[in-house]
Structure formats: C-alpha cells, structure tokens
Amino acid sequence: MNKIDIACIIDDNPIFIFGAKRMMELSNFCNSFMVFKNGQEAINNLKVLMSSGESIPEIILLDINMPIMDGWQFLDEFTTIESHKLITIYIVSSSIDPVDMNRAKHYENVSNYIIKPISLETLNTLLKEVTQE
C-alpha cells in the first residue's frame, strides 16, 4: 500500500497528538509529521511553505476546539490560500454535536468528520482514500 509523504496534525491535546503519531507509525501511514498546537500556528507555518513551493502535507487532521485559533477559524483562513497541491482535510474531534458535523459539510476541502479517538482501521481507510486520488 502507498503511504503519505507528510501528514499534519493540528490539535492542542498532547495525548491525542502522541496517540495519533504512534498509530500512524504502526500503520506505516506517512514518512513524516508536522504538528501544530493551534490553528494560528498552523496557518503561519503552512502559508510560508505553500507560498515558497516547499513540501506541504498531503493530509491534515484538524481538531475544531483549540485555543488562539480554532479549527473553524483555521478553515476560513486556509481556504483563502492558494496551493500548488491538493491537501485533504479531515476534522478529528471529540464533539458529537450534529451542528459541528453539519458545519463541516459546508467546507468543500473537508473530506470527512471523524470522532476521536482515531483507530488504526480509520487511518487505513484514510490512507486508501488519499492515495487513490
């Protein structure tokens, strides 16, 4: 099975970050990670990478409830940045609120809404989806 070159995790929870990275390593999901603790940190770094033509992530796992800049604010800002490559975004949240799930559907660059915790099976499904595009 193919694997992703760079995966990005945007989440303020160090336990989720540790677990997601470990699951990605176990499933041979990607070659490397980018981790940002809030949307603002992610936007600041991704803008530079995208404008310079450097390697950017193929997939972003985005939490919606974070300090400084939440996932929704990140999406609003991120959609205005031009990219030379498709980046697939998955919202990964502990929120089971139908309002959040429906709101995610309004962003065309969000592929799916995943409830935490993330499993090996879910990562394998994401990998198949992303590498088939």
**Cα–Cα–Cα angle for 113, 60, 18, rounded to 5 degrees:** 95
pLDDT at 133 over 60: no
Measuring CA to CA, which residue among 53, 47, 44, 58 is closest to residue 90? Answer: 58
Query: To which residue do tokens 């990005």 refer?
Result: 8
Strand ranges of the sheet holding 88-93, from the earlier edge strand across to the other edge: 30-36, 4-10, 59-62, 88-93, 110-115
- pLDDT tens string 19-69: 999 999 988 899 999 999 999 999 999 999 888 878 889 999 999 999 999
Give Cα 6 distance to the centre of its chain: 11
Q: Beta partners for 34?
A: 8
State the pLDDT at residue 82.
Answer: 81
Query: Is 35 in contact with 28 (CB distance < 8 Å)?
Result: no
Q: Beta partners for 93?
A: 115
State the pLDDT at residue 78.
Answer: 92
Domains and CATH numbers, the chain: 4-132 (3.40.50.2300)
What's the CA gap between 47 and 119, in Å, rounded? Answer: 30
Arithmetic mean of pLDDT, 113-122: 90
User: Torsions phi, psi of 52, nearest 5?
Assistant: -90, -10
State the pLDDT at residue 1.
Answer: 54
Q: Which of 27-31, 50-54, 104-108, 125-129 has the lowest mean pLDDT?
A: 50-54
